[in-house]
Amino acid sequence: MRHVDEYRDGEAARALLAAIARASHRRWTLMEICGGQTHNLLRSGIDRLVGETVELVHGPGCPVCVTPLEQIDRALAIARRPEVIFTSFGDMLRVPGSTTDLLAVKAAGGDVRIVYSPLDAVKLAERHPDRQVVFFAIGFETTAPANAMAAWQAARLGLENFSLLVSHVLVPPAMEAILGSPHCRVEGFLAAGHVCAVMGYREYEPLAERYRIPITITGFEPVDLLRGILFTVTALEQGRVGVENAYARAVTRDGNTRAQDLVASVFAPCDRKWRGIGEIPGSGLALRPEYAAFDAETRFDVGGIAAEESPLCQAGRILQGLCRPDECAAFGHDCTPDRPLGAPMVSSEGACAAYYLYGRS
Ligand code: SF4
C-alpha cells in the first residue's frame, strides 16, 4: 500500500477533473455503492465539481442504513434482558428502533457495550460464563470475515454463552435488484473497493455483461474517486461494458480467498430484507446449520418481532438512486441528525446525514 498523500493531491485531482470534462459529451448518472464513498465525495466537493457531466446518486452501501427496523427492535429486546451483555460497534447504538435505541436501553440499566471487534465479544463471553454475550453482526462482505472468525472461535472454545444477532447483507444482489428495476436510472457503478478487497470482482463481471453497464472498482480518497469516475465515464462514452479495477493497490480479481473460505464455512447465502428496499433474494448471510447454536435470534426467540417504517421516510428511493436526500420532504425539518426519522440520517455513513453535514440542500 503506497502512502495516502498522493491520493489527496490537488494537482492530480485537477488533472482528473479536466480529463472527466473532456471525456464527457453528455451527463451520465453514476451510483457509488458505499456510504464511505458518499461522504468522501461530498466532503471533497467532487459531486459539485463534476456536476455538469456526472450526476452522482447514492447506493445502499451503508450497513447501518439497510439494517431493518425489526432487527433493531430485536436487538433492543435482547439487550433489555438482565442476563445479557449486548455488544455492538458504536454506530448502532444511536440507530432508532420503533420506540427507542440501544443507548437508551443502556441508560436504563441494560448492559450494552461497544466493542471494536467481535473477537472482543468472544473474550467477554469467556470472562463471564454466567452471562449471555451477544454481538450485533451487521454489515457487508467487509465485516463478515471477522464475524465468521468470532463464531468459529466460540465453537472452538466450546462457548455456550455466546451468540450473534446476524444481519449481514451482500452487495452484488443489491446491485442486481437496482439494475433490474424498471425505474433504474443508474448507467454505471463505482463499486466499493474494500468489499472487493475481500471478495475480488469476479461476481461483478456477469452483472456488467447482463445489464450492459460499466462497473469500476473504486477507492476512497479524492484521487481514487475521480479516477473511478473517469474510468466509468470513458467506458460509457466508448460504449464499453465490463469491470475495470481503478483500485489495484488494494484489490485483485480473486480477492482474499482465505477470508472468503472462512466466511463460506460459517455463513450461507439467504434471502434478506433491506431497510427501505424490502426483501432481496440471496442478498444476505445466515449462520450455517453447524453454527445454528450461535444464532441469537433463535436463542432469545425474537424472530417474530415485526416493525413498520415511517411513511415519511424516502430511504428506499434514495438507496436505489431514485431521488436525492434533499428531495425528501422531511429532510432538515422533521428529520435531522439530532432527530432522525430514518437510518440514512442517523448513520455516520448515511447519505441523508452526508447531505445535512455538507450543506447539500
Ligand atoms: S431525510 Fe430522513 S426521513 Fe428523509 S429519507 Fe432521509 S432519513 Fe428518511
Chain segment 134-170, per-residue pLDDT in tens: 999 999 999 999 999 999 999 999 999 999 999 999 9
**CA separation for the pair 272, 278 (Å, rounded):** 8
Residue 295, all three cell numbers: 444464532
Question: Identity (one letter) of the amino acid at 213?
Answer: I
Q: Assess whether the C-beta atom of 118 lies below 6 angstroms from ligand 1.
A: no
**Between the CA of residue 308 and those of 55, 69, 271, what are the distances in Å?**
32, 8, 19
- In sequence order, what are the beta bridge partners of 285? 168, 269
What is the β-pairing status of strands 278-287 and 162-169? antiparallel
CATH 3.40.50.11740, domain 27-301, yes or no:
yes
Q: What is the pLDDT of residues 176-217, one digit of tens each?
A: 999 999 999 999 999 999 999 999 999 999 999 999 999 999
Strand order in the sheet with 132-139: 112-114, 84-88, 132-139, 162-169, 278-287, 267-274
Listed by start position, the domains of the chain span 27-301, 315-357
Length of the chain counted residue by residue: 361
pLDDT of residue 276: 79
Q: Assess whether the C-beta atom of 330 lies below 6 angstroms from ligand 1.
A: yes
Q: How far is the CA of 315 from the centre of ligand 1 (A)?
A: 6
Q: How far is the CA of 331 from the centre of ligand 1 (A)?
A: 6
The angle, 0 to 180 degrees and rounded to 10, between the axes of the packed helices 144-157 and 257-266 is 60
Average pLDDT over residues 240-251: 97
Confidence of residue 85 (pLDDT cuts 50, 70, 90): very high
Q: How far is the CA of 291 from the centre of ligand 1 (A)?
A: 37
84 phi and psi angles, rounded to 5 deg: -100, 135
Confidence of residue 32 (pLDDT cuts 50, 70, 90): very high
**Between the CA of residue 238 and those of 26, 95, 96, 195, 209, what are the distances in Å?**
12, 43, 45, 27, 15
**CA separation for the pair 140, 62 (Å, rounded):** 9
pLDDT exceeds 60 at position 341: yes
Q: What is the pLDDT of residues 6-25, one digit of tens each?
A: 899 999 999 999 999 999 99
pLDDT of residue 309: 82
Choosing from 66, 345, 349, 357 the residue with most ligand 1 atoms within 8 A of its CB, the one to mutate for a pocket test is 345
Residue 87, all three cell numbers: 455488544
Q: Assess whether the C-beta atom of 342 lies below 6 angstroms from ligand 1.
A: yes
Among the atoms of ligand 1, which is closest to the Cα of residue 329?
Answer: 4
Record the pTM.
Answer: 0.93
pLDDT of residue 1: 52
pLDDT of residue 348: 77
